[in-house]
Amino acid sequence: MSLYSRVIKPKSLILGNGKVVDEPRSKAPLVIVLFCIASLISIKITGFDMAVMFSRGGQFLVILRKMVPPEFAYMPKIWQPLFDTIKMSLLGSFVGAVLAVPFAVVASSNIVKNRFVIVFVRLLLSIVRTLPTLVTALIATYIFGLGTLAGTIAIAVFTFAYVGKLLYEEIETVDMGPFEAMQAMGANKGRSFMYAIIPQVLPSYLSNCLFCFEGNVRYASILGYVGAGGLGLILNEKIGWREYTKVGMILVMLFATVVIIETFSHWLRSKLT
Amino acid sequence: MIVFRHVDKVYPNGFVGLRDVSLQIEQGEFVAIIGLSGAGKSTLIRSINRMHDITGGELTVDDADVRSLKGKELRRFRRKIGMIFQSFNLVTRTTVIKNVLTSFVPDLPFWRVLFGIFPQEAKIRSLEALDKVGILEKAYVRVDQLSGGQQQRVALARTLAQDPSIILADEPVAALDPVTAKQVMDDFRRVNQAMNISVLINIHHVELALEYADRIIGIREGEIVFDGPVSEVNEKVLSDIYAGKLEEVI
């Protein structure tokens, strides 16, 4: 009997033939109580104040209202940074996703038997994943200078860690049967991997890459804040100068781009599975 | 010809898989290996192509000393031994023909393997192998669209494309219904008789073993307790193999 059942006695159900079945009590009430306590504590700690929310919340709308109508005349100046943003995310996603493959293979416990190697590579992936993209971009601008190269590298680093983790988890759940069959046929480990494991993980790998690319377009649009090129650069500038109609135009274009890319990527991913 | 001389297999945890096994299997025999789960049937079959290492004795296949093979030699040795599995071990997300073509992967130049460009001859041989097991029309269908029996036939075709002289089958029909199981056993018989390929089958179904095999090997706790033609198998022999639990088998 579990600890929970010992503390809170199960409900006894009696069947027609006299057999007794103990139904463990639901854990939901306990979870709800704990959740409420945690919420109260976090409100205390963060100083969240409902009164301020009500009195100042309206200011959101004031800024939003200033963005309407967006200044369409500004559009021609947005194309270049917008394409920079897309280029950064596309190239960065591609480079990161390709680099992730060898690392993911080495991090898979069903392929590599050496515990030390696995733990080392996984630790590396987690550390890289913990770095916020904005911080990576900032560091990259110190090394490679201001501009889209720094942004591309920041995106690649994030994609590498993200796709790498998803891929090694995917590799670990494959059916090892075909791999065994390839080995029994006299194929070496590399060829067995290529023909038994890759076909199993390829669709979800591509799907993950596309999903990551979708997100990267959004990340890339703020990387300009630290000088890494793209939309963020002019977004930062126009907010600073309070030219909200231009900010509105930038957001509309970004929104349209993200929707188009997400729709396309969603359609592609639905074809993959 | 497969020869076991006083072969032992002890697993690293101390479990005895095989104990002083001696046998000789001639080219073209159809042998069924029967026994309880955990008696050592799989170990016996898998030691032949060195999917499992033996720890004592001598094992030769067509005069090759299996224990001394390593690396490239071992892989070349495995080319002429086909293997069939209980769970088929196919890549279910791709087509039938791609699964059969994998049997050429070990021998092709690396650039062909990398880009998946197979020579015309390999494609024709794969299709011929599918034709031999009667599922040629399924060649371009995805494996997960097929029934269990059809999948086991794809696995058999993959093995035939490899042009083996021996086929090892580890519980090939355990996952199949009785009717399909018979069809797959018919395939094995056809392959055995028409192409003179030795067939070694691990099997739980005693009645199928008796119907299809020429020779029965009974194994109990790692030891061979019976080895003889089907005609010599009687109730007493089976009771001995199954350690008195015969009622549960038949």
The pLDDT of residue A66 is 85
Q: Answer yes or no: is A61 within a domain.
A: no
Q: What is the pLDDT of residue A100?
A: 95
Domain residue ranges in chain B: 30-41+72-248
The CA distance from B153 to B84, in Å, is: 10
Q: What is the pLDDT of residue B65?
A: 92
Domain match, A105 and A196 both: yes
pLDDT at site B246: 59
pLDDT at A52 over 80: yes
Q: Report chain B residues whose CB lies below 8 A from the CB of A198.
A: none
Which of A175, A176, A185, A195 is most worth mutating to test chain B (most B CB atoms within 10 A of its CB)?
A185
Kindly tell me the number of DSSP H helices and DSSP E strands found in chain B: 9, 10
Tell me whether residue A255 is in a domain.
yes
Please report the number of interchain residue pairs, chain A to chain B, with beta-carbon separation below 8 angstroms. Answer: 74
Question: Does A184 contact B106 at a Cβ distance shorter than 8 Å?
Answer: no
User: Which of B75, B91, B94 has the CB atom closest to A186's CB atom?
Assistant: B75
pLDDT > 70: what percent of chain A? 99
Assign domain B30-41+72-248 one CATH number from 3.20.20.80, 3.40.50.300, 3.20.20.140, 1.10.10.10.
Answer: 3.40.50.300
| Complex ipTM value | 0.90
Predicted local distance difference test score (pLDDT) of residue B78: 94
Mean pLDDT across A73-98 = 91
- Cβ distance A81 to A142 under 8 Å? no
Q: Please write the tens of the pLDDT for every residue from A4-13.
A: 777 778 888 8
CATH code at A128?
1.10.3720.10
- Asked if A184 and A134 sit in the same domain, the reply is yes
Which pLDDT score, from 0 to 100, does residue A202 have?
Answer: 92
State the Cα–Cα distance between residues B199 and B185, nearest whole angstrom. 11
Query: Which token pair is A128?
Result: 């890289």
Distance of CA B73 to the CA centre of its chain: 21
Question: Is A29 in the same domain as A73?
Answer: no
Evaluate whether residue A59 is within a structural domain.
no
Pair (A108, A161) in one structural domain: yes
pLDDT per residue over B122-174, tens digit each?
999 999 999 998 899 999 999 999 999 999 999 999 999 999 999 999 999 98
Cβ-defined contact of A182 to B49 (cutoff 8 Å): no
- Indicate whether A258 belongs to any domain: yes
The boundaries of the domain holding residue A11 are 3-48
Same domain membership, residue A99 and residue A199 = yes
Tokens of A174: 């494959």
**Closest partner CB to A181 (pick from B77, B89, B113):** B89
Residue B203 is classified by DSSP as: -
- What angle, rounded to 10 degrees, do the helices at A133-144 and A148-172 form? 130
Residues A194 and A130 in one domain: yes
Contact: A181, B76; criterion CB under 8 Å = no
A115 and A226 housed in the same domain? yes
Q: Are residues A25 and A152 in the same domain?
A: no
State residue B79's pLDDT score. Answer: 94
Indicate if A203 and A168 belong to the same structural domain: yes
pTM of the entire predicted model: 0.80
Whether B34 and B241 have beta carbons less than 8 Å apart is answered as yes
A156 and A36 within one domain: no
Q: How many domains does chain A have?
A: 2
pLDDT < 50 positions in chain B: none
Instruction: Give residue A1's pLDDT.
Output: 58
Residue A174 located in a structural domain:
yes
Q: Mark whether A90 and A192 lie in a shared domain.
A: yes
Region at B70 (left for phi over 0; alpha for psi -120 to 50; beta for the rest)? beta
pLDDT score of A226 more than 90: no
| Size of chain A in residues | 273
Which chain A residues are closer than 8 Å to B49 by Cβ?
A: 184
Q: Look at residue A263 and tell me whether its pLDDT is greater than 80.
A: yes
Q: Do residue A121 and residue A242 come from a single domain? A: yes
In chain B, residues 72-101 whose CB comes closer than 8 Å to chain A: 74-79, 81-83, 85, 87-94, 98
Of A42-51, A207-216, B89-98, B142-151, the one with minimum mean pLDDT is A42-51
Q: Is the pLDDT of residue A97 over 90?
A: yes
Give contacts of A203 with chain B, Cβ < 8 Å. Answer: 93
